[in-house]
Chains A and B, each alone.
Chain A
Amino acid sequence: EAGVAQSPRYKIIEKRQSVAFWCNPISGHATLYWYQQILGQGPKLLIQFQNNGVVDDSQLPKDRFSAERLKGVDSTLKIQPAKLEDSAVYLCASSLLTSYNEQFFGPGTRLTVL
Chain B
Amino acid sequence: RKEVEQDPGPFNVPEGATVAFNCTYSNSASQSFFWYRQDCRKEPKLLMSVYSSGNEDGRFTAQLNRASQYISLLIRDSKLSDSATYLCVVIGRGTALIFGKGTTLSVSS
A binds B: yes
Give A contacts to B, CB under 8 Å: 33, 40-45, 48, 55-56, 91, 98-100, 102-103, 105-108
Q: Is B101 an interface residue (CB 8 A)?
A: yes
Bound Cα distance A108, B96 (Å): 19
Which residue from chain B places its CB closest to the CB of A102 in the assembled complex? B46
| Min CB gap A32→B, angstroms | 13
- Give 7 closest A-B pairs by Cβ, nearest first: A42-B99, A105-B43, A99-B95, A98-B95, A102-B46, A45-B96, A43-B99
Q: When the two chains form their complex, are residues B43 and A106 in contact, meaning their CB atoms are under 8 A apart?
A: yes
Q: Which of B32, B87, B89, B96 has the most CB of A within 10 A?
A: B96
Bound Cα distance A63, B101 (Å): 26
Task: Give the size range of B's interface with the partner.
Answer: 20 to 34
Bound Cα distance A106, B102 (Å): 19
Q: Which of A55, A98, A103 has the most CB of B within 10 A?
A: A103
Set of chain A residues within 8 Å of B89, measured between Cβ atoms: 42
Interface string of B1-24 (1 = CB under 8 A from A): 000100010000000000000000
| Min CB gap A79→B, angstroms | 20
| Min CB gap B46→A, angstroms | 5
Besides the contacts A42-B101, A43-B99, A99-B32, what 4 more A-B pairs have beta carbons closer than 8 Å? A48-B95, A102-B46, A105-B45, A106-B43
Set of chain A residues within 8 Å of B58, measured between Cβ atoms: none
Q: When the two chains form their complex, are residues B46 and A56 in contact, meaning their CB atoms are under 8 A apart?
A: no
| Min CB gap A61→B, angstroms | 16
Bound Cα distance A45, B45 (Å): 16
